[in-house]
Amino acid sequence: MSILEEASAQLLTSSATPVLACVAALLFLVFASGHLRSPKDARRGPPGPWPLPLLGNVLQLDLQWLDRSLSELAKRYGSVFSVYMGTQKVVVLAGYKAVKEALVSHAMEFGERYIQPMAYDNSRGHGIIFANGDSWKELRRFALHTLRDFGMGKRLTQDKVLEECKHLIPIFESHQGQPFNTTSPLSWATSNIICSIVYGNRFEYSDPQFTTMVKRNNESIRIFGSLPIRLYNMFPWLFYWVKNRKLLLSNRDKNMKDVRELLRQRKEKLNPEMCTGLVDCFFVRKQKEEEEGVESSHFSEENMNFVVGNLFAAGTDTTSTTLQWGLLLMAKYPEMQERVHEELNKVIGNRPIDVDDRKNLPYTNAVIHEVQRFSNIVPMAILHQTTQDITFQGYFIKKGTVVVPLLTSVLYDKSEWETPNTFNPSHFLDKEGNFVTRDAFLPFSAGRRVCLGEGLARMELFLFFTSLMQHFHFTPPPGISEDELDLKPMVGFTNNPTPHRLCAVRRE
């Protein structure tokens, strides 16, 4: 039975059915009068498929692979078009030029975050990722400045990553060349980098509280993009009961409980003269504002809980997932892996990697960038909304309209990439084999809502990937050929590889 059928069955047996029927009828009238405009009126806004009452364009979309459905519609309706997710009008920006123009050239107009029902349930407007207004501005500015103070993207961060490699590599070695799933160790390693910056210390991989938090985080990000949650976001009054929503809220409560305990421990050790992480700085700022009698301070403990939770989630999943893709793609394409090994042997040898080596490793650098492009980790970015009425590329878009910057259409834009559907490191190499940047390389999005930790992620990807490649040769499990390795992602908020195992064979 489909989810819609299950929902219908519950509604038919509910005592609230007459009330819901009245609500449905009212919504139909509102929708019909306000959204099903005449063809003449429709030309004022972006074009798009004709919506059905209440359902909008849901039946015309593959909700499990929504970015692919929207990319197909872009071929018909152009780089700016509209669809209805239920009764919610959404404007989709497709292709590099449209996305860049909106998010960068019109950064203020397209710079607000649209907070979906599930996102609101999860954060209530607190933190950084799913927040707007003065609170978002103040907390983002504080987080960015503090992360930079603690070495984000600088030599201090490199030392943390290389130290973490000393813990990660033995985990890979412990499997003695036998197949294993790389998900957990890579998640632990990347999470520890953000933890060392946020809390001032790393955690052992044997710490059950730490590993459980990482596991819950990975699970929540995956199911945040699941079909039941997408249906809930479109029809919250109908799908509030779905199991995945309850699981997300349960995971949030459990992780917040663990975060509060870690914050309590940090507060007990707080030395205002010697802050060792973002949390310490937050406490000092909070105390200062309390002493000064600042009204409406955004530095509350509740906001701190969500800021820490946001950084923990964002700083773990996207980087670890990209590394998973990187190792999988190296096993899939052994000739490319061999070229990386040859370049590392020539330039690095057996000494530790240094971030300054990047300029002397053009092919390896190109491979890392192509992994980010090809894996397309956040295919629809995080939804935006307009802050005011705007005429964009000849189309009128009202204030408060939900906007999808379709990053899939940017990273796979046929007008920007020679072979967009193929893993091809040559996208980032010139004819002489030198590394070249590409304007359409926007895996971190762009504009006011560009990823807060972009600099940190770039450094981590380079150092973790090269360190692992320096020590190991990655192959499919015995009995499985490179051609049989599956590159189809799982359905989720981020594009994770299908569960798989690899062999990490120690290089001599």
Q: What does the pLDDT look like over 364-392, one tens digit per residue?
A: 999 999 999 999 999 999 999 999 999 99
Q: How confident is the model at residue 295 (pLDDT cuts 50, 70, 90)?
A: confident
pLDDT above 70 (res 9)? no
DSSP-derived secondary structure letter, 95: S
Q: Among candidates 35, 32, 152, which has minimal Cα distance to 88?
A: 35
Distances (CA, A) of 171 to 166, 244, 323, 343: 9, 32, 15, 25
- CB atoms inside a 10 Å sphere around CB 190: 28
> Which domains occur in the chain, in start order?
58-506 (1.10.630.10)
Express each pLDDT in 434-484 by its tens digit.
Answer: 999 999 999 999 999 999 889 899 999 999 999 999 999 999 999 999 999
pLDDT above 70 (res 235)? yes
- Four-CA torsion 239, 241, 242, 247, nearest 10 degrees: 140
Cβ atoms of 407 and 443 closer than 8 Å = yes
pLDDT above 70 (res 187)? yes
Which element (helix H / strand E) includes 403? strand 402-406
Amino acid at 272: P
Which element (helix H / strand E) includes 367? helix 362-375
Check residues 16 and 269 and name the one with the higher pLDDT: 269
pLDDT above 80 (res 18)? no
Side-chain half-sphere exposure of 271, counting CA atoms within 13 A: 5
28, two tokens: 């139909």
Q: What is the pLDDT of residue 150?
A: 79
Q: What is the largest CA-CA distance in the chain?
A: 74
* Alpha-helix residue ranges (DSSP H) falling in 174-277: 183-198, 208-224, 227-234, 236-239, 243-268
Q: What angle do CA 438, 442, 448 make, to 5 degrees?
A: 125
452 CB-near residues (< 8 Å, 6+ apart): 128, 140, 143, 144, 147, 311, 314
Q: What is the pLDDT of residue 37?
A: 44
CA-to-CA distance for 98 and 212, rounded, in angstroms? 41
451 is in an annotated binding site: yes
Q: Among candidates 353, 376, 317, 319, which has minimal Cα distance to 469?
A: 353
- 207-211, long-range: CB < 8 A, 24+ apart: 209/258, 211/184
Least confident stretch, 41-45, 255-259, 454-458:
41-45
Rounded to an integer, the average pLDDT of 244-260 is 96
Amino acid at 344: L
Q: What is the pLDDT of residue 43?
A: 46
Q: What is the pLDDT of residue 29?
A: 42
Q: What is the pLDDT of residue 424?
A: 98
Distances (CA, A) of 269 to 197, 266, 275, 299: 16, 5, 10, 19
Q: What is the pLDDT of residue 403?
A: 98
Q: How far apart are the first and last CA of the chain?
A: 54
pLDDT above 70 (res 17)? no
pLDDT above 60 (res 28)? no
Express each pLDDT in 52-104 by its tens digit.
Answer: 999 999 999 999 999 999 999 999 999 999 999 999 999 999 999 999 999 99
Q: What is the pLDDT of residue 153?
A: 61
Q: How confident is the model at residue 290 (pLDDT cuts 50, 70, 90)?
A: confident
The answer to whether the predicted template modeling score (pTM) of the entire model surpasses 0.85 is: yes
CA-to-CA distance for 263 and 257, rounded, in angstroms? 10
429 CB-near residues (< 8 Å, 6+ apart): 362, 363, 366, 435, 436
415, two tokens: 């007008």
Least confident stretch, 37-41, 431-435, 439-443:
37-41
Strand partners, 402: 90, 385
- Mean residue pLDDT of the chain comes to 90
Q: What is the pLDDT of residue 322?
A: 97
Side-chain half-sphere exposure of 245, counting CA atoms within 13 A: 20
